Amino acid sequence: MTYRLAIAAFAVAAIAGGVASAQAPAAPPAGGAARPAVPAENPQRSGLLWKEEWKQNDGGKEGPINVAASVGNPDLELKMYGPGPALNILGKNGDDSNPAHVFSGEAKGPMAFAFHSKKGTADLSGLSRIRVNTKMSGLHKVYPIVKLASGDWYMADKAAGGSIKDWVIEDIPFSDVRWYKLDIANVVTKGNPVDKIDLSKVEEIGFADLIPASGHGPGGWFDVGQIEVYGKTVAR
């Protein structure tokens, strides 16, 4: 073999060795074989905490709400807030076109209502939410509100409502809102919104309407039918 042929053979052997090395599987790291990455678990949605469908008056006729007798869920206590709050109840249970509901037309200013559960405080952290069936007049909307264990009230920046023609059921996830500090006596917000509040112990849950009502007939009021809250109960 000539000197030139020997050099060529050596180069071919070197290239072949490099290709084989590149194709060989990487050695496992020290301490055992490599483990595949485990995907993070999907967060679980909260189950139904409580539901309120109201209790209709005789024949479904309109009349002032009875804070005890008009609440259909025996585990809930209804409270109303604001300068001159008022709710009437009307409609019929089981009637999708006109369900039993509360009407705010006679309120004297901005108002709020909320429920206190006799079973315990609510944990609304994680994927908790509130569902509500509404019909509105004017620019009225109802904003979710919460009373924390500290006694502070907050209002969410997302609201339900917007149709005068038909009842609309909407979900508002608590994980997807910002919160305003709420002056519950006057039902007005204070300060700038915050991204997070401690929702692990909530004493009351409900809705606020920031616009004064206009009485009966078209103009401005809210109708609120059934309400569902999804979260967890924290025993007292």
Nearest of 226, 207, 229, 179 to residue 104 by alpha carbon = 207
Strand runs labelled E in 82-201: 88-90, 101-103, 111-117, 121-123, 129-137, 143-148, 153-156, 168-173, 179-183, 188-194
The number of beta carbons lying within 10 Å of the beta carbon of residue 100 is: 22
Place of tokens 């005068």: 164
Structural domain contains residue 20? no
Structural domain contains residue 183? yes
Q: State the pLDDT at residue 235.
A: 76
Determine which of 23-37, 59-73, 108-122, 170-184 has the lowest per-residue pLDDT on average.
23-37
In the chain, the percentage of residues whose pLDDT exceeds 90 is 75
Structural domain contains residue 13? no
Q: State the pLDDT at residue 3.
A: 43
Quote the CA–CA distance of 186 and 109 in Å, as a whole number.
9
Is the pLDDT at 12 greater than 50, yes or no? no
Determine which of 32-46, 122-136, 168-182, 196-210 has the lowest per-residue pLDDT on average.
32-46
Structure-block tokens of residue 202? 């909530």
Query: Which pLDDT band, with edges at 50, 70 and 90, does 43 fall under?
Result: confident
Structural domain contains residue 109? yes
Residue range 116-143, pLDDT digits in tens = 999 999 999 999 999 999 999 999 999 9
For residues 15-41, give the mean pLDDT. Answer: 48
CA 55 vs CA 38, 59, 65, 142: distances in Å: 50, 11, 10, 20
Quote the CA–CA distance of 115 and 122 in Å, as a whole number.
11
For residues 15-37, give the mean pLDDT. Answer: 47
Number of domains composing the chain: 1
Structural domain contains residue 203? yes
For residues 171-183, give the mean pLDDT. Answer: 97
Structural domain contains residue 64? yes
Place of tokens 């019929």: 92
Quote the CA–CA distance of 54 and 227 in Å, as a whole number.
9
Q: What is the mean pLDDT of the chain?
A: 87
Residue 142 CB partners (closer than 8 Å, separation 6+): 132, 134, 159, 160, 161, 207, 208, 209, 222, 224
Strand runs labelled E in 75-152: 76-81, 88-90, 101-103, 111-117, 121-123, 129-137, 143-148
Structural domain contains residue 202? yes
For residues 195-218, give the mean pLDDT. Answer: 96
The number of beta carbons lying within 10 Å of the beta carbon of residue 220 is: 18
Higher pLDDT, 166 or 9: 166
Dihedral angle over CA of 62, 67, 70, 74, nearest 10 = 170
CATH for 202:
2.60.120.260
Range of the domain at 203: 48-234
Structural domain contains residue 143? yes
Is the pLDDT at 113 greater than 80, yes or no? yes
Quote the CA–CA distance of 177 and 199 in Å, as a whole number.
12
Residue 220 CB partners (closer than 8 Å, separation 6+): 137, 138, 139, 140, 211, 212, 213, 214
**Greatest pairwise CA separation for the chain in angstroms:** 115
